[in-house]
Chain A
């Protein structure tokens, strides 16, 4: 065991940060590990330890720049103070409090939210602000990466349900409990959306030319409102009769414009545009025996065949 390993890593990283911030010129790796205490002796070990510390700092929002050391043919490291500090947001006190309340009111990633509040200058625990969140949002490791790619206008590639995708990401959308990323799919040459919890590993931000997003892109409009509209293929209009038990709930869900007939027994008939039959069936069966597909005949027959296959052993 080397004595250097006994130094607390928080101490080593804090010292590293102070040295990099103070540097007027890029510092070589050797200079850094010999002046900042706590790095192992051997080259491979200190190189690895430094890379880990650099990654840690980057995850905290500290951009460690790699630049050529003047007059020498090696690269060095420093932190540009202009990039280290948050530009003045010009928030009023009320605006700052509103952001704090928003962070406290949304259950997402508590530690990250607390870090953001601290950086905005709130020296209080968020939990003391409000005890019950108003909304819970799922967090996923891919989200900040995609958000950063959108900000930097860089293409990303990822594996999604067994396929490799490269997209120019335009926006993130949260809908019905799930996060989606929307963007131009480079292979399919069309705007597509992907459910983020189905991305299999961290997306990779591609180096290269920044893309120009469409000026009028509206992520909310890029997603069809209903699951049965998401997908590819020709849309058919399905007419469904919903019995009185669920008529009100279905009307509230689809909107009154979807109702094409109101029957005397209290049932309603609604029309939906269907692209994705799986999603449509899932919605339909959520209503159990309170809903029947009236037309088109092909869709009705498909539903009947599905039920017969399940109901006969």
Chain B
């Protein structure tokens, strides 16, 4: 039994297992096969099916219970056709399905009249409202080139603008995986200059060309696609005016404390002075960096450097 699974998740899974057994008709299935198909351990399969074998209709006499005989090796089932029919989607499932299909169709280069589009049209006809979910993903100019290189395992030479340092530099990368998250496209790539795996924002790649070399992905598949702060990240403590609360919503913060005067004392990871400067400029008057010492005064430096352009 998985103690971490909710009743909802177990019920959903059990009904799916029963539907699958029912579709196979009367006969036996190996416990190991059920376990592999539904992502369960064999012990879980046995215990959930034993539970189901006690389910049925009143008065719960043997002829009213589900026809399930379970042992450690296999399950013998004769469930009749009723349980095999697909069940109605819950609101959350219908939404997730429609949103997933719309998201894939929003990927630049998808076929708007392909198989997925026709599947979605049939689904939306049943779900009710057509076109009720609309997804648009960013389409940076170099996305197609970078995706093609990743698909073909072709090495790239890129000019990348680093927002944290406010400078562009050239590097050679092995593009592993391209994905969209939080409104931006990212490239997971092995960076030959730093000798490490890096996330790059595709819209900040100013130029890219294939080097003519190909690469081999490391064993174990691509790394998890979680946008993690880079290794150069440090933590800063800043005071921001109360009006800056909305700016913090989409930023990872360590802590936010509201001071007596309403201002916010925020501890957050920063990706360099240029990165922090954007936050301070947006937050405006009343912003001040307290720590670390080398970033103290960043708000004044940022304001003055931008003001210089106004002569």
Flag B282-303 by CB within 8 Å of A: 1 or 0 each. Answer: 1011010000000000011011
Question: Nearest Cβ in chain A — how far from B292, in angstroms?
Answer: 19
A-facing mask of B124-161, CB < 8 A → 1, else 0?
00111101111111101100000000000000000001
B127 neighbours in A (Cβ, 8 Å): 151
Contacting residues of chain A (222-274) with chain B, CB-CB under 8 angstroms: 245, 248-249, 252-253
B222 touches A245 (CB 8 A): no
**Inter-subunit contact A137/B99 (CB<8 Å):** yes
- Complex CA distance for A113 and B94, rounded to whole angstroms: 9
Among B86, B93, B94, B274, find the residue whose CB has the most chain A CB atoms closer than 10 A: B93
Tally of chain B residues near chain A (CB < 8 A): 109
Asked, given contacts A115-B93, A133-B179, whether A60 binds B8 with beta carbons under 8 Å apart, the answer is: yes
- Across the interface, B285 reaches (CB within 8 A) one of A96, A124, A310, namely A310
A64, chain B: closest CB distance, angstroms: 12
Contact B97–A99 (Cβ < 8 Å): yes
Which residues of chain B are within 8 angstroms of A83 by Cβ–Cβ distance?
88
Q: Which residues of B contact A121 (CB under 8 A)?
A: 23, 86
The proximity string for A residues 1-33 relative to B, scoring 1 for CB distances below 8 Å and 0 otherwise, is 000000011110111001100100000000000
From B90, B132, B161, B282, A172 is in contact (CB under 8 Å) with: B132
Say whether A174 contacts B8, CB under 8 Å.
no
**Does B260 reach chain A (CB closer than 8 Å)?**
no
A109 at the interface (CB under 8 A from B): yes
The CA-CA distance from A157 to B214 in the complex, in Å, is 55
CA gap between A308 and B278 in the complex, in Å: 15
Known: A144-B92, A311-B299. A177 touches B250 (CB 8 A): yes
Q: Tell me whether A174 and B136 are in contact in the complex, defined as CB-CB below 8 angstroms, given that A98-B119, A134-B179, A310-B287 are known contacts.
A: yes
A310 and B107 CA atoms in complex are apart in Å by 40
Cβ contact within 8 Å between B88 and A135: no
Cβ contact within 8 Å between B86 and A123: no
Check: B184 CB closer than 8 A to any chain A CB.
Answer: yes
B residues 221-251 in Cβ contact with A at 8 Å: 221-222, 225, 247, 249-250
A114 to B13, CA, bound (A): 9
On whether the beta carbons of B118 and A127 are closer than 8 Å, the reply is no
Nearest to B287 among chain A residues (CB) is: A310
Instruction: Tell whether B43 is near chain A: CB-to-CB under 8 Å.
Output: no
| A99 nearest CB across to chain B (Å) | 5
Q: Which B residues are in CB contact (< 8 Å) with A61?
A: 87-91, 93-94
Q: Is B119 a contact of A175 with CB atoms below 8 Å?
A: no
Complex CA gap A175/B136 in Å reads: 6
Contact present for A125 and B122 (CB under 8 Å)? no
Residues of A within 8 A of B138 (CB): 176
Q: Give A contacts to B, CB under 8 Å.
A: 8-11, 13-15, 18-19, 22, 35-37, 56, 59-63, 83-87, 89-92, 94-99, 101-103, 105-109, 111-116, 118-121, 123-125, 127, 131-139, 143-145, 147-148, 150-153, 170-178, 197-198, 213, 218-220, 245, 248-249, 252-253, 281-282, 285-286, 288-289, 291-293, 300, 303-304, 306-313
**6 A-B pairs with C-beta separation under 8 A:** A61-B90, A86-B86, A98-B101, A115-B93, A147-B133, A148-B91
A-B pairs, top 8 by smallest CB distance, nearest first, are A177-B183, A311-B303, A61-B90, A95-B119, A309-B285, A118-B16, A151-B128, A285-B281
